[in-house]
A and B are shown apart, each in its own frame.
Chain A
Amino acid sequence: DAKTTQPTSMDCAEGRAANLPCNHSTISGNEYVYWYRQIHSQGPQYIIHGLKNNETNEMASLIITEDRKSSTLILPHATLRDTAVYYCIVMKGNSGGYQKVTFGTGTKLQVIP
C-alpha cells in the first residue's frame, strides 16, 4: 500500500480556511485518497475521500493533483471544534479489496481563537 507524508503540525486562525497537505507519490491507480480526523482519543472520524476528481461535502473539500501524487484537505471556515489530528491515507475501494492500511502520525491542527 502507498504511504503518505504529512506535516507534523499546523496552526489556523478561527474562521479562516485550513489547508492540510498530503503527499502520496507512490499511489496506485486503484487507490483512493481518504481523510480522517481524530479528536482527543476518540475513534477516527471519516471526512472525505476521492479517486481523481476534486470532492466536496458538508465538512470539507478535497483537492487532488492531476498526477495524484498529492492532495489538500480544505476546511473552509475552521472552528475551535476542528482542532484535531488529521490523517491522510490511501487505500483500495471495494473493487480492489481492502487490505493493509497505514495511518501514520497525521497532522495536528490547532485552531487558534
Chain B
Amino acid sequence: EAQVTQNPRYLITVTGKKLTVTCSQNMNHEYMSWYRQDPGLGLRQIYYSMNVEVTDKGDVPEGYKVSRKEKRNFPLILESPSPNQTSLYFCASFNSGANVLTFGAGSRLTVL
C-alpha cells in the first residue's frame, strides 16, 4: 500500500533534548516536505526537498534541520527543542505522475 509513514506519532520531551521525527515513503517520490500545524495558523511549511541531497527552507525553518540522504526518508531534526515547537507535524510526499501531495498521519510533539 502506498503511504507516508511518520514516527513517533506521539512524543513528550523536555527542552533541549535532541529528537528526530522520521518520515518514510514507499512510492519513490522525489519531492518531500514537512509542515507544522498550530491552532489558528493552518499548516505551515518547515522544509522541503526536491530530491536526494536537495533541501530548502519553507516558511518556518527556524529551530529545525532536515536531511535527505536517500529518496525514501526525510527526517526532521530538532537539535534543541523548545516549548514553542510543541505542535502537530505532518510529512508529505508528492506524486508527480498524479500531481498529488500525500500526507502522513501526523506526529504530535509536546516540549516541556
Which A residues form the contact surface with B (CB < 8 A)?
Answer: 32, 34, 36, 41-46, 49, 87, 91, 93-94, 97-106
Please name all residues of chain B whose beta carbon is closer than 8 Å to the beta carbon of A106 when the two chains form the complex: 42
What is the distance, in angstroms, from A43's C-beta to the closest C-beta of chain B?
Answer: 4
How many chain-B residues does the 8 Å CB contact rule pick out? Answer: 31
A98 close to B42 (CB less than 8 A): no
Closest A-chain residue to B88, C-beta based?
A41
CA A36 – CA B35 in complex, angstroms? 15
Per a CB cutoff under 8 Å, which of B59, B96, B99, B103 touches A43? B103
B108 close to A44 (CB less than 8 A): no
Report the tally of A-B residue pairs with Cβ distances under 8 A. 62
CA A20 – CA B53 in complex, angstroms? 39
CA A99 – CA B33 in complex, angstroms? 9
What is the distance, in angstroms, from A84's C-beta to the closest C-beta of chain B?
Answer: 14
23 contacts between A and B (CB under 8 A): A32-B99, A34-B101, A41-B88, A42-B106, A43-B90, A43-B104, A43-B105, A43-B106, A45-B103, A94-B96, A94-B97, A98-B48, A99-B56, A100-B45, A100-B48, A100-B59, A101-B33, A101-B101, A103-B43, A103-B44, A104-B42, A105-B41, A106-B42
Closest B-chain residue to A104, C-beta based?
B42
A94 close to B90 (CB less than 8 A): no
